[in-house]
Amino acid sequence: MELIVARNREDLVKARRGGDVALVPTMGALHEGHRSLIRQARVRADQVVVSVFVNPLQFSPNEDFSRYPRTFDADLDVCRAEGVDVVFHPAVEDMYPPGRQVSVSAGEMGNIVEGAFRPGHFDGVLTVVLKLFNLVRPDLAVFGQKDAQQLALIRRMVADLDLPIEILGGPTVREPDGLALSSRNRYLSESDRRVALTLSRALRAGAAQFDPSQIRATAQDVLDAAGPELDLDYLALVDPATFREVGESYEGTAVLAVAARVGDTRLIDNVTLTLNPH
């Protein structure tokens, strides 16, 4: 089947066939992490739509919107290789025509952890995701656990606004040395990359501990040892549904999340762990 490139709602309607539609939203510069989500979608749906859209709404003025990697031809090759049916690639002017007023608020959960460092980011994410849902009208959508707070907020939006869409999470795909794949990794110099490895190393060290205080302290020690080249925004041990910090007596699944700048590149990573009573 020939890959269809859709630019607008009309193209999407024409491309629609019967059966379940899965959407995989991306900002392009596709890598193995995206591919794993596409494969998950492929297994679950009759038609797979991948959106490629660098969403200006989720970048603040001091962030990297203009220099975010755009590799659309290579992305099309990846989508063809993965058997994607439709690539939705709208223009910014079509998604956000002048006069726009209404948007989605991520609420309090949008202002904590990652949201505390990126004001307005999650409002921008939820607004574009809701628009993509309304344009593509998928039965299910797949998001990466790599952006754990984003995934939690999308689940929250689906529940709070009664969206008839099933949300699937995909595990984080990593390099053999542990670095989480990211479109932004291409900005890293060789020495940046060595420093960036501290993130996943700190998460693994933390996850090998048992109490919240030990987990935090162990991960923090690894981050501190990286020296000034690693500019830490936060290390947080949170409830995966609410992103609130967990207390010493918390039991169940938790997320240990980290964000840091290495050179000019901001990186995030997280691991899921289980806190048992003992």
User: Does the footprint of ligand AMP cover residue 95 (CB under 6 A)?
Assistant: no
Name the minimum Å distance from CB 178 to ligand AMP: 11
How many angstroms separate the CA atoms of 45 and 50, rounded? 13
Contacting ligand AMP (CB under 6 A), which of 110, 124, 138, 144?
Answer: 144
Q: Whose structure tokens read 């080249």?
A: 229
CB 159 within 8 Å of CB 165:
no
Put residue 271 in one of left, alpha, beta given phi > 0 → left and psi -120 to 50 → alpha: beta
CB neighbours of 21 closer than 8 A, spacing ≥ 6?
45, 46, 47, 48, 49, 136, 137, 138, 139, 140
How many angstroms separate the CA atoms of 21 and 44, rounded? 9
User: Does the footprint of ligand AMP cover residue 181 (CB under 6 A)?
Assistant: yes
Contacting ligand AMP (CB under 6 A), which of 127, 149, 183, 198?
Answer: 183
Pick the stretch among 11-19, 169-177, 194-202, 249-257 that binds ligand AMP (CB under 6 A).
Answer: 169-177
User: Which residues, numbered 14-73, are part of the site for ligand AMP (CB under 6 A)?
Assistant: 26-27, 33-34, 36-37
3-state SS class at 31: coil
Name the minimum Å distance from CB 277 to ligand AMP: 31
Question: Given the complex with ligand AMP, which of 3 and 173 has the nearer CB atom?
Answer: 173
34 belongs to the catalytic site: yes
Residues in contact with ligand AMP by the rule CB under 6 A: 26-27, 33-34, 36-37, 143-144, 146-147, 170, 172-173, 180-183
Which residue numbers are catalytic?
Answer: 34
